[in-house]
Structure 1
């Protein structure tokens, strides 16, 4: 024993030393001395260099989990929209041609006066129908990305536009025959867009 040593923690009743690691007396009288001489037993977290090293390291971000949910097959959707535009253009051209032929036959009889229910020719309606289908496809895609219920919003927007396009010619046309013919053409353009674009969009959505 070292009675004059103030750092001697060994017990006087049989030896032993206070172990700082276990916070208890050790049976080994030299446990404290060995622990004090062991360079690896010191607390490394108290080293300023160690703290600066890990403080300088940027925090590692956890990897972002893969996105799950509905995904749009762009190629399939574009193909469906183009096919809808072709169908709308053909339907518009065909209905406009039928209306023009019927009006010419009625005009030739001379009993009901001169009929001109279609203000434009059938090719103009075909081009307008195809362009409207393309714009409707773009609208559905934007709604799919930005709204929680794209099909319902699309149905409301297109449905209201179709109703306005049918009612306005009936109210604003000077001749009732022209108003009826234009309203029929607008309805022919709007119905394929309203139903086919939604169907093509639903078919192009893939769930992962």
Structure 2
């Protein structure tokens, strides 16, 4: 008897995955805006440093939100590629997202700005990384498809020549 797994093929519903990716991009942009509003408005921290103070110095709230949305779309593309190419896409996606998020958290801590700006930016990046990873993982899990391979139909039973012909009345 054939193994059940031999008759199953896994795939991904690209439409659902990308719809979820676009929705995740909107969520990520909003998370970035909320994080910056909390840091700047409530705590008075100049997140991303004042203008002219390094690589992060001229970033605005809009730019930060657009970059967060773009990263969510890149994460969707990565998950789509992994879903088509590797045996355990969720595992690889999780590791990649953990490492990318770790880079995004550590990078602001290396800037030459006040400590409060470093920490606030690192926290916002951590939350963004976690949100994007969690939502894309969930979206991918919900967009997986299972297709069963078509099995050839068994041939109709035939009567052997050494048997007498059956009739309707033999029963």
Asked whether the two chains share a fold, i.e. TM above 0.5, the reply is yes
Indicate the residue corresponding to 1:25 in structure 2: none
Unmatched tracts of structure 2, length 5 or more: 1-6, 50-58, 148-171
Question: 2:29 & 2:131 partners in 1: Cα distance?
Answer: 10
- Contact kept in structure 1, 2:104 and 2:125, CA below 8 Å: yes
Report how many residues are paired: 132
Instruction: State the TM-score, normalized to the length of structure 1.
Output: 0.59
Q: Which has the higher contact order (CA 8 A, sep 6+)?
A: 2
- Aligned position for 2:46: 116
Structure 1 residue runs without a partner (length 5+)? 1-66, 105-114
Q: Say if 2:12 is the partner of 1:72.
A: yes
The match for 2:117 among 164, 168, 178 is 178
Question: Is the CA contact 1:88–1:193 (under 8 Å) kept in the aligned structure 2?
Answer: yes
The CA distance in 2 between the partners of 1:132 and 1:93, in whole Å, is 15
How far does residue 195 in structure 1 lie from its aligned partner after superposition? 0.6
The within-5 A match list for 1:33-182 is 68-104=8-44, 115-119=45-49, 120-182=59-121
Deviation at 1:99, TM superposition (A): 1.0
SS at the partner of 2:103? Answer: helix
1: CA distance, partners of 2:134 / 2:111: 28
Partner of 2:141 in structure 1?
202
Change in 2 beyond 3 A, CA 1:188/1:118: same
Alpha-carbon offset, residue 71 of structure 1: 2.0
Stretch moving more, 177-186 or 118-127:
118-127
State the shift of 1:151 in Å: 0.5
